[in-house]
Amino acid sequence: MRIPIREVSPESGRAEVAGWVHEVRDLGGLAFFLIRDRTGILQVTVPKKKVSEAVLSGMKEVSRESLVRVSGIVKAIDKAPGGRELIPDCFEILSRSGSPLPLDVSEKVPAELDTRLDSRFLDARRPRVTAVFQIRSRVMRTVNEFLFSRGFINITSPKIVAAATEGGTELFPIAYFEKEAFLNQSPQLYKQMMMAAGFEKVFEVGPIFRAEEHNTTKHLNEATSIDIEVSFTDHHGVMSLLEELVVHTYRDVGEHCQGALEALGIDRLPTPKTPFPRLSYGEAIELAAGKTGESIQYGDDIGTAAEKAIGEHMGEHYFIVDWPTAIKPYYAMPYEQDPEISKAFDLMHPRMELSSGAQRVHDHDLLVQQIQSKGLNPENFEFYLEPFRYGMPPHAGWGLGAERLVMTMLSLGNIREAILFPRDRHRLTP
RNA sequence: GCCCAGGUGGUGUAGUGGCCUAUCAUGUCGGCCUGUCACGCCGACGACUCGGAUUCGAAUUCCGACCUGGGCGCCA
């Protein structure tokens, strides 16, 4: 019976493992093989005079990164990694690896991100890369569990849509039989429509597509969005929920991914302090102006330099609230007493924006008015506007970038590290 | 899209006009080695992105193309 390498211990006596040949050190009469599976690395020690012909011929033929099945006696040895080693009586090659390898899995020689992504399957054999995606998997699981436990209904909205109705970002056009269609930039309109259906709390985790020609370490053209929408609440309600979700996720990863965190050199994952500070847009640009020396006009977007300056000052997760209505989407609810300001917010990590959300406009006529004031044509929004005529509850929601959440949590230098097969301005394969 | 920096064995690099038959490491192959853990030692193999120009001579300078990294912009 094959067991995971992590579970191999001297107490088990005999063990059988299957894994890839990570490294070979042949000292002559004695050879060491490091065998790796997704749970760890085991030293297989071969005293050549004491093992069978079959073992000798197997080890002679094997190449690095070939897949082998090895079984034998486990011995406790202080000198070996993990305090144990396996002396094989069976050493079988299950699948040979070609040579040379496209990159060095053992990481003695580094490889550039581009080289790594070209051979992502091999790159992902590297323990640190495996660790990132084990943690990402845990994050996704936790997010789902958290939202289900709060009574959310999971929905799946279409990714192929008819028109670029939201404005803002560029969309990818696709051919849809005889019509033109687009890949959806966000589930925004659909999750709002489900508020009109009375679902009350919905969430969706799925891909979003943006055809921006950006070339940065924090943008992707296909990203994963964690989206929620909640009825009978306001922006404060969903901000609290977001804060709880982030903290819960950090704590959960800290508790359940110790091995993976260790592989990444993280001894202890600090849980963000709550409540996250709420900084108004006005305070934010004032702070940025003071730090950078550049004046920011009220109503300007917060650029990279400003965002960085504010992040360095805050040093932790924080919200920017009370944005000018003019620079937020039409569906963000303006304050009743001051319609120039909207009930919109961004959740910021010191390094970048993680999420943005708002209380939404639920009044049909106000929504039409806001669409017009953005220079858009309400006629193009008919399918979206219709639910607002038949009892739309007040509601609020947000969208959270899954890659950015993982990237900032693990201090990854490039968002491409947080997604298996990134799609960026230039990369369409693998 | 703009700007900057790059493109040298499988991988990561050194090399700014002749000293390049191109450095080092890793890798691969062969040899030696019974406690390695970046094993060590000896030997071998393997590369200048493409096209044009300048020059007696180009990896090195210039022009163009393609590709890559980064910064900015754009981006609910």
Q: A286, A280 in Cβ contact below 8 A? A: no
Find the largest Cα–Cα distance for chain A: 88
Is any atom of nucleic acid chain B found less than 7 Å from the CB of residue A299? no
Q: Measuring from the CA of residue A167 to each C1', which nucleotide is nearest?
A: B76
pLDDT of residue A296: 83
Q: Given a cut of 90, is residue A405 above it in pLDDT?
A: yes
Q: Given a cut of 70, is residue A168 above it in pLDDT?
A: no
Is any atom of nucleic acid chain B found less than 7 Å from the CB of residue A249? no
Provide the token pair at A227: 């989206």
Quick one: what percent of chain A has pLDDT higher than 90? Answer: 75
- What is the ipTM metric for this complex? 0.89
3 state DSSP class of A357: strand
pLDDT of residue A129: 94
Is any atom of nucleic acid chain B found less than 7 Å from the CB of residue A325? no
Is any atom of nucleic acid chain B found less than 7 Å from the CB of residue A155? no
The residues, ordered by sequence, that sit 6+ positions from A96 with a Cβ below 8 Å of its Cβ are A62, A63, A66
The model carries a pTM of 0.93
Is any atom of nucleic acid chain B found less than 7 Å from the CB of residue A188? yes
pLDDT of residue A355: 95
Q: Which residues pair with A26 in a beta bridge?
A: A31
Residue type for A104, please?
D
Strand B contact residues in chain A (338-357), C-beta within 7 Å: 346, 356
Q: Measuring from the CA of residue A189 to each C1', which nucleotide is nearest?
A: B76
Q: A325, A342 in Cβ contact below 8 A? A: yes
Question: Within A202-339, where are the H helices?
Answer: 235-256, 258-263, 281-292, 304-314
Q: How confident is the model at residue A164 (pLDDT cuts 50, 70, 90)?
A: low
3 state DSSP class of A234: coil
* Structural element, H or E, at residue A246: helix A235-256
Q: How confident is the model at residue A179 (pLDDT cuts 50, 70, 90)?
A: confident
How much is the average pLDDT of A127-153? 96
**Which one is predicted more confidently, A237 or A99?**
A237
- CA atoms A112, A116, A117, A119: torsion sign: positive
Is any atom of nucleic acid chain B found less than 7 Å from the CB of residue A399? yes
Pairing of strands A344-349, A318-321: antiparallel
> How buried is A82 (Cβ within 10 angstroms: 0-12 exposed, 13-18 middle, 19+ buried)?
middle
Q: Which residues pair with A261 in a beta bridge?
A: none
User: A285-324, pLDDT tens digit by residue?
Assistant: 999 888 888 778 888 888 888 999 999 999 999 999 999 9
Pairing of strands A173-176, A318-321: unpaired
Find where tokens 């040379």 sit: A100
From the CA of A150 to the C1' of B16: give the distance in Å: 64
Spatial separation of the C-alpha atoms in residues A19 and A152, rounded to whole Å: 40
Distances (CA, A) of A329 to A128, A354, A357: 39, 17, 10
Q: Given a cut of 70, is residue A166 above it in pLDDT?
A: no
3 state DSSP class of A392: coil
- Give how far the C-alpha of residue A225 lies from the chain's centroid of Cα atoms, to the nearest Å: 9
Nucleotides of B under 7 A from a protein CB: 1-3, 10-13, 25-29, 32-40, 67-76
Is any atom of nucleic acid chain B found less than 7 Å from the CB of residue A32? yes
User: A180-207, pLDDT tens digit by residue?
Assistant: 889 999 999 999 999 999 999 999 999 9
Mean pLDDT taken over chain A: 92
Q: Which of A99-113, A164-178, A288-302 holds the top average pLDDT?
A: A99-113
The residues, ordered by sequence, that sit 6+ positions from A57 with a Cβ below 8 Å of its Cβ are none
If you write DSSP's letter for every residue of A140-168 in order, what string do you get? HHHHHHHHHHTTPEE----SEESS--S-S
Is any atom of nucleic acid chain B found less than 7 Å from the CB of residue A233? no
Find where tokens 């080693």 sit: A85
Find where tokens 């091995």 sit: A259
pLDDT of residue A374: 87
User: A5-52, pLDDT tens digit by residue?
Assistant: 999 999 888 999 999 999 999 998 999 999 999 999 999 999 998 888
Q: Given a cut of 70, is residue A165 above it in pLDDT?
A: no
Is any atom of nucleic acid chain B found less than 7 Å from the CB of residue A301? yes
Neighbours of A54 (CB within 10 A): 13
Least confident residue range of A61-70, A107-116, A163-172, A415-424: A163-172
How much is the average pLDDT of A64-74? 95
pLDDT of residue A394: 97
Is any atom of nucleic acid chain B found less than 7 Å from the CB of residue A112? yes
Find where tokens 């799946």 sit: A156
User: A118-131, pLDDT tens digit by residue?
Assistant: 999 999 999 999 99
From the CA of A111 to the C1' of B55: give the distance in Å: 37
Is any atom of nucleic acid chain B found less than 7 Å from the CB of residue A23? yes
